Structure 1
Amino acid sequence: MEFTQIDASVLEISKPVSVPLTQGNVRKSMGIMREIAKAQLGAEEPDKISAADQDGETAEIKQTIAGLDAQLKIFDDVNDYVIDVLKLTKHQQQKLDDITFTQLTELAGSIAAHILGIADTQPTEDDQKSNGQ
């Protein structure tokens, strides 16, 4: 598992804090970035801001919020799909937060491939050679 080191000296924590790069932490981070962007915009609902407020900075913040909303929707949709199709228990659902988003999307893709009868295999060395890779 990958980790990032966070400087938390402002909290008087002398050593960097090691934080795992799980999809749960990434999703939480996107959510807080969206809320910070909304606060910078000065409104809880950025889509209700008048056209007169559409200066460059405001437009950039709104674009950031829209991007984060789209990414959070993907996280939620993939999580919901895996939970629903596999009928995960609450305990199993909590474990989803401990894997990376890549692992989650690979799992969702594998589930979908099996259900749809699509081959869920990695290309062999011969396949790669025949494709000129």
Structure 2
Amino acid sequence: NYRTIRYPGHAAIMKALLNDLGLRHRRDVLKDIFESALPATLQDVVIVFVTVSGRKNGRLLQETYANKIYSRRIGDQVRSAIQITTASGICAVLDMLADGSLPATGFIKQEDIALDAFLANRFGRAYAQHEMVSRLAG
């Protein structure tokens, strides 16, 4: 499951703007509203929390990966966490495709890309953390 963490009431406000007021079809107006009414920030945080359960060597295991990604300077510009993670995921996969780490033809599912290889990639490193937490589930 993919979830986003937003402030209370966010979904209702977005529904009103996009659906009730029809601004999903008037993107220029929606953009003007957002740019004039909402402050921009580079102090966002992307939280990655993944838990997987399954059998490994006959034992039921659960592994958890948790990480926070913050805004930071890349080159001569400060980038927000959402900019970094959005670009890093796309660039890592394209980089792996270009260097032959991924098949050059056919459909590649996200789960077919090994996490270790993704995190070792120069772009995928944005998602890396220093310690992966694993624990025995039962």
**Normalising to structure 2: TM-score of the pair?**
0.32
**Normalising to structure 1: TM-score of the pair?**
0.33
Q: Which has the higher helix share?
A: 1
